[in-house]
Chain A
Amino acid sequence: MSLGSPIVKEYFRSDRLPHIWCPGCGHGVIMRGVVMAIDNLKLDKKKVCVVSGIGCSSRASGYMDFNTLHTTHGRALAFATGVKLANPELEVIVVTGDGDCTAIGGNHFIHAARRNIDITTIIFNNKIYGMTGGQYSPATPLHEVGTTAPYGTVDPDFDICKLAVGAGSSYVARSTAYHANQLIKYIQKGIENKGFSVIEAISGCPTYYGRKNKKGDAVDLMNYYKDNALDIKAAEKLPEDKKVGKFLTGEFHHEAKPEYVSEYMKIVEKVQKERSENE
């Protein structure tokens, strides 16, 4: 995708590019996934609102040509909840990172999921705090290294998708920056789902995560995701020994259930009707 491509012209603020991400970072692929999903769905640009928190991933909001809100660290979902409830016509998409969403923003994350509010959250999971220089996050795999865990972490990492399902999300999927087309499909389905949707997008951070953990360069990280991603449906048919060292991708959960804003609007209509009948 060059700067002159129709997608860039339509959906990006070309005067704000190039982006600040390091060479080899997976975030650009994921950001492209967001706009491709929006393009495929032919959403009205004026009605799309992209909300982000703080960190590498959250800079994405500024590059995309929609109503964009770059908030405080971890709070994107709380701001987004206000936007969505105030104007349900808006298609609200949250772009966030593993630290932003599951550490400082963890409480907002589980409660947005519990409400099943119609927001699509794309978690750019690079398994590290990139913006501040490589500290370990709740998604850094156990015993791996960050600048604040020089001898390896002792606290286990979250399975973000399990957390999302457990807290009440109605659509949950995981893909990687390598599986770009699959990622677009999942984001699209997340937007189409009327409820809280979580798409965990594994992103390579060669600068900090890759280098600190001796995982090689950007290409090595991409190859790792290519070789070790195991689709959940395929995994069901495989014996245990074939799953060692692999990680699961795919659609983990999709269910139709009551959505927060619609349910609240039912209350508004009901009490207004009762009041007008009593008058």
Chain B
Amino acid sequence: MSKNVVKLMQGNEACVEGALAAGLQFYAGYPITPSTEIAEICSAKLPLVGGKFIQMEDEIAGMAAIIGASLAGLKSMTATSGPGFSLKQENIGYAAMAQIPCVVVDVMRAGPSTGLPTAPSQGDVMQAKWGTHGDHPTISLTPNSVREAYDLTIRAFNLSEKYRTPVFLLMDEIIGHLRERIEIPNPDEYEVFDRLKPTPNDKNYKAYAVKEGEIVPRMASFGEGFSYHVTGLVYDEYGFPKTDTDVAENLLNHLMSKIDNNVDDIITYEETQTDDAELLIIAYGGVARAASKAVKECREQGMKVGLFRPITLWPFPEKRVNKLTQKSKKVLVVEMNLGQYVIPVHRVKEPDSKVFQYGKVNGEPISPDEIIKKIKEAY
């Protein structure tokens, strides 16, 4: 095995490198701080590998174009930040409904509205879950390091191809703009999953029928000889609009269950000293780095504190969080918002455990000292 290449790299840059490793061939987007480097690097690198980059007229168009490109058979991505993520929600819903694989990177900045464009936040956690209208499945991954930005971008593509749904890489500005030394993994160190396609001569191909033993319908690319219809209306197994109540119910059940039935495959997390923790911290993304340091210092001072770091934010790791609150009677959720991820924690915790939240939205990252202070107050 060849030696790994070591590089000093920014989170946004690692995201592009990971995307290319996963097979990215198409990027469409609109410039927005603090995600712009992703577009800039894609514009330089994609033509070199025979891929395509286009700067669209707005965020909505960027989302639309990657859906079109994915239907034409290319692995596609866009990147944005808070206000742009809001604009993309219309077509994110379309991708969820029509089951089009694609990756959307949201480098979270402080909001609402234009907010603090260059400052970090984790204010889009609930937008990632509920941003588009109607019930829909959501997969969101959130990295806490530059290397993890690389790895999770590959994973975002794999999950989107496997489950035929848009997948969000929810970075915060801390990770997006952080520069770290990373070892670039060799291709034999990671898996790349490509969408399942119908066999070329399949005369009975139904664009939206799921074959027995498979999770999602097989996806033909436009131009491969399968003439089929794609719509955002409720559709039947051929992809044509239908208003029958049973067709609507079956479709919505399929959209939700393809994710709900596979949470063990989708959900990943990391735990530090949770076994005997009397107080459990839940933190993700850039904040988890400060939380990790706080846990270490508290342990040195004799406090039984542990850290649960969700890597998959959505679907919510509810089984594991419930299990942990059976032992840790106190939970402190630390996040750069005024209480978003704490909501599902409240929902799934054991009744006798107490949940606290510490949030900060002034544009400053949360420091280990602040977390230690909050731990001591709650402990």
Contact with B along A69-97 (1 / 0, CB 8 A): 11110010011111111110110000000
Count residues of B near A (Cβ-Cβ below 8 Å): 44
Chain A CB within 8 A of B257 CB: no
- Are the CB atoms of A62 and B68 closer together than 8 Å? no
Chain B CB within 8 A of A267 CB: yes
In the assembled complex, which residues on chain A have CB atoms less than 8 Å from the CB atom of B225?
46
- In the assembled complex, the Cα of A84 lies from the Cα of B64 at a distance in Å of 12
In the assembled complex, which residues on chain A have CB atoms less than 8 Å from the CB atom of B230?
68-70
- Are the CB atoms of B26 and A82 closer together than 8 Å? yes
- Are the CB atoms of A82 and B227 closer together than 8 Å? no
Contact of A89 among B56, B223, B233, B241 (CB under 8 A): B223
Contact with B along A107-120 (1 / 0, CB 8 A): 11011000000000
* Contact A68 to B228, CB < 8 A, known contacts A75-B60, A82-B28, A82-B64: yes
* Contact A90 to B64, CB < 8 A, known contacts A62-B240, A82-B69, A108-B57: no
Q: Quick check: which of A135-143, A171-179, A228-236, A268-276 contacts chain B, the rest being far away?
A: A268-276
Chain A CB within 8 A of B90 CB: yes
Counted as pairs of residues, one from A and one from B, with CB atoms less than 8 Å apart, the total is 139
Q: Quick check: which of B46-54, B182-190, B317-325 contacts chain A, the rest being far away?
A: B46-54
Contact of B74 among A78, A86, A271 (CB under 8 A): A86
Interface of B is mostly: mixed
Closest-by-CB residue of A relative to B229 is A68
Contact of A83 among B50, B57, B69, B232 (CB under 8 A): B69
- Are the CB atoms of B65 and A85 closer together than 8 Å? yes
- Are the CB atoms of B232 and A82 closer together than 8 Å? no
Contact of A85 among B50, B52, B221, B240 (CB under 8 A): B52
- Are the CB atoms of B47 and A271 closer together than 8 Å? yes
Interface of A is mostly: helix
- In the assembled complex, the Cα of A63 lies from the Cα of B46 at a distance in Å of 36
Chain B CB within 8 A of A66 CB: yes
* Contact A82 to B65, CB < 8 A, known contacts A69-B71, A87-B223, A272-B47: yes
- Are the CB atoms of A268 and B68 closer together than 8 Å? no
B224: shortest Cβ distance to chain A, in Å? 8
In the assembled complex, which residues on chain A have CB atoms less than 8 Å from the CB atom of B74?
86-87
Closest-by-CB residue of A relative to B50 is A268
CB contacts under 8 Å to A, within B28-51, are 28, 47-48, 50
- In the assembled complex, the Cα of A90 lies from the Cα of B91 at a distance in Å of 22
Chain A CB within 8 A of B76 CB: yes
Chain B CB within 8 A of A67 CB: yes
In the assembled complex, which residues on chain A have CB atoms less than 8 Å from the CB atom of B67?
71, 79, 82
Chain A CB within 8 A of B231 CB: yes
Chain A CB within 8 A of B271 CB: no
Interface residues, chain A, with chain B CB atoms under 8 Å away: 13, 16, 45-47, 49, 51, 61-62, 65-72, 75, 78-87, 89-90, 107-108, 110-111, 264, 267-268, 271-272, 275
Q: Beyond the given A46-B225, A81-B28, could you list 14 further A-B residue pairs with CB under 8 A, ordered by the A residue number?
A: A13-B229, A72-B90, A78-B56, A78-B68, A81-B61, A82-B65, A83-B71, A85-B26, A86-B69, A86-B70, A110-B57, A264-B54, A271-B48, A272-B48
Give 26 CB contacts A-B under 8 Å: A13-B240, A46-B224, A46-B227, A67-B222, A68-B227, A69-B222, A70-B231, A71-B94, A72-B64, A75-B60, A79-B65, A81-B54, A82-B26, A82-B28, A82-B64, A82-B71, A82-B72, A83-B71, A86-B68, A86-B70, A86-B73, A89-B223, A90-B72, A90-B223, A110-B57, A111-B56
